Amino acid sequence: MRAHAWCLAVSKGGLAVGTFSVARGLMTEFGVAKDKAETRKRLMLAAKQGT
């Protein structure tokens, strides 16, 4: 949960690596509930940010 919270903070700062990490956590249920719609949203945002 701490890693997910950190990645969310980095994502909000506009860094693609944080956004991608949030999406990866959502895909694998690593400390968070699985959410396909949110995963897709985060992956698209990460792509726009430059991942």
Q: First CA to last CA across the chain, in angstroms?
A: 23
Here the tokens at position 44 are 């698209």
**pLDDT at site 2:** 78
**pLDDT at site 9:** 83
pTM (predicted TM-score): 0.62
Could you report the per-residue pLDDT of 3-44, keeping only the tens digit for each?
A: 778 777 888 888 888 888 888 877 776 656 677 888 888 888
Residue at 35: amino acid letter: D
Which has more confidence, 26 or 47? Answer: 47
Instruction: Confirm if 22 and 29 have CB atoms less than 8 A apart.
Output: no
Here the tokens at position 24 are 């990866």
